[in-house]
């Protein structure tokens, strides 16, 4: 009986520790999947975005993000999202996938 009580106590303590960590993770906005989804769905201004922000776009990695910034610095602000097609690494498919998330 003592062994059963000890096992129940250990199980209760472990369960409460896991529940507490789960509750804390749910309260932490950095870990909240809804927040992460909201960040991914926000629009990105091509003329102001940082490399990290550009990388939130599907199909845009570090090299492509840096190429976008380099183009912007060399050519000036984007006037049309179609200008992205001039950047190596961005084709029609990528542009179509990210077009709705871009602003100028």
Q: Is residue 70 part of a domain?
A: yes
Least confident of 4-13, 25-34, 79-88: 25-34
Check whether residue 59 and residue 98 sit in a common domain.
yes
In the chain, how many domains are there?
Answer: 2
Rounded-to-integer distance, Cα 101 and Cα 68, Å: 15
Secondary structure element (H or E) that encloses residue 82, with its range: none
Res 46: pLDDT:
94
Measured CA distances, 55 to 10, 25, 39, 40, 77 (Å): 45, 25, 12, 10, 19
> What range defines the domain where residue 63 resides?
42-103
Let me know: does 102 contact 42? Beta carbons within 8 Å: no
Check whether residue 21 and residue 67 sit in a common domain.
no
Check whether residue 26 and residue 48 sit in a common domain.
no
Torsion angle of alpha carbons 68, 46, 93, 57, nearest 10°? 90
Q: Is residue 35 part of a domain?
A: no
**pLDDT tens-digit series, residues 33-86:** 554 444 456 899 999 999 999 999 999 999 999 999 999 999 999 999 999 999
Check whether residue 11 and residue 48 sit in a common domain.
no
Res 42: pLDDT:
83
The answer on pLDDT for 15 being more than 70 is no
């Amino acid at each position: 009986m003592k062994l059963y009580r000890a096992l129940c106590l250990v199980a209760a303590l472990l369960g409460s520790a896991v529940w507490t960590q789960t509750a804390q993770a749910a309260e932490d906005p950095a870990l909240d999947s809804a927040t992460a989804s909201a960040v991914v769905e926000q629009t990105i201004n091509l003329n102001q975005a940082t490399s990290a922000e550009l990388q939130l776009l599907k199909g845009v990695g570090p090299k492509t993000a840096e190429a976008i910034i380099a183009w912007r610095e060399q050519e000036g602000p984007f006037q049309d999202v179609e200008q992205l097609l001039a950047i190596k690494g961005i084709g029609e498919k990528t542009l179509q996938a990210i077009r709705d998330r871009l602003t100028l």
